[in-house]
Structure 1
């Protein structure tokens, strides 16, 4: 079994309007996932520096950040980052350039953990439904173009409220969604903007929204999580 989490950390700015990367790490330690997809992990302007410094991550957590080498001071690509256990092996990684009016991207990595290699995609999609669908098609096309088809997990802030149309329907034709529940807004969650999706061959054994007191203050999104395991029978598709 592998525990996954996805968290839009809002550049470390909490609902009290304070930037506090230590508080983000505290929430991540509460969840204690093996693989974590972060959104808005970098500052937006200037050098777009990572919010959680390498020293802070190394000294006060059990994870390491996968280095995509897109920007020297950034943790990921357009704010998307992936953290894994320090014991995990990074088989390969890269960035996915997404069509957008404003800078958007996704990241992908093959991670070997718990004697299992899983392809992990982290994403933060557009506010526009039209662009979200274009971005979803680009991500799926990137996966289709790969020479191999390992077990795959996709996670992130999809910015889509509708389960019956748009990018959720596009992804749902190929992936099963973990029924995690509403994660936005952190103080009163009503929107299922954040999602975890698994390919055939994987089964969601358990999942949920992490709604601790610390999580309700650390960002305007609550983290979501899922425990996945191998499954010989294809999981049901859809949201």
Structure 2
């Protein structure tokens, strides 16, 4: 089984030209064409916290469907964290993962069924504070240890960590595989490797990178990152 995972902080669909353009974000996602996508900043932060990407547009005009979290009717995710999966992938269950924080942050977890194999995916957006980030990573890992079953797992998101391997990322010890696709922020001239993917040892990583395109350089203040991996048969 070969799958492509992607993570994208869409900045509430506001691009570097200061225009909010949801269709532009969806076009970038089509360029990547990943099987499972973690989005950050997918909802507004005030009021009804409605999604900046119309759910109907996603379901009717893209190859993905949102993972239902059933928390806020108008939201796509939880504190802006949302997951999209390719149509045909079954969602067994989905949960929010509250994180210790002083600002609205969170993570979401979904168990998926693909080709008869149960997989676990986490989307996350970590704090600006280094101490909080470390606490949040520990909270996510603790949550995973309490989940039913030991299934192949992928975590991805905006980690807000400038260090390559230290800080909060030091919590992902072996056998976790920490992928640093490359500079993804700011989108026009990326220098910071803020967006990461973390895979359990069952995955064989084939490739990973940052998605550079003219459209992606305008659509958000982050560039998307992606990873392609194979899950060997048991």
TM-score in same-fold range (> 0.5): yes
Partner in structure 2 of residue 85 of structure 1: 86
Distance in 2, Cα, partners of 1:155 & 1:68: 18
Partner in structure 2 of residue 36 of structure 1: 37
User: For the Cα contact (< 8 Å) 2:205–2:227, is it kept in 1?
Assistant: yes
Helix, strand or coil: the match of 2:215? helix
Equivalent pairs counted in the alignment come to 233
Partner in structure 2 of residue 224 of structure 1: 225
Partner in structure 2 of residue 102 of structure 1: 103
Distance in 2, Cα, partners of 1:173 & 1:93: 26
User: For the Cα contact (< 8 Å) 1:163–1:169, is it kept in 2?
Assistant: no
Which TM-score applies when normalising by structure 2? 0.96
Distance in 1, Cα, partners of 2:227 & 2:201: 16
Partner in structure 2 of residue 19 of structure 1: 20
Residues 1-239 of structure 1 correspond to what in structure 2 (within 5 A)? 1-231=2-232
User: For the Cα contact (< 8 Å) 1:109–1:119, is it kept in 2?
Assistant: yes
Partner in structure 2 of residue 235 of structure 1: none
> Which ranges of 4 or more aligned residues in structure 1 deviate by more than 3 Å?
none
Helix, strand or coil: the match of 1:93? strand
Helix, strand or coil: the match of 1:70? coil
Distance in 1, Cα, partners of 2:164 & 2:64: 33
Helix, strand or coil: the match of 1:213? coil
User: For the Cα contact (< 8 Å) 1:15–1:216, is it kept in 2?
Assistant: yes
Partner in structure 2 of residue 237 of structure 1: none
Q: 1:129 to 1:174 in 2, by over 3 A?
A: farther
> Greater shift after overlay, 115-124 or 134-143?
115-124
User: For the Cα contact (< 8 Å) 1:178–1:204, is it kept in 2?
Assistant: no
List alignment gaps of at least 5 residues for structure 2. none
Helix, strand or coil: the match of 2:172? helix
User: For the Cα contact (< 8 Å) 2:164–2:180, is it kept in 1?
Assistant: no
Distance in 2, Cα, partners of 1:74 & 1:50: 5
Structure 1 residue 115: deviation in Å?
4.1
Distance in 2, Cα, partners of 1:230 & 1:136: 24
Helix, strand or coil: the match of 1:55? helix
For the aligned residue pairs, the C-alpha RMSD in angstroms reads 1.4
Distance in 2, Cα, partners of 1:51 & 1:114: 32
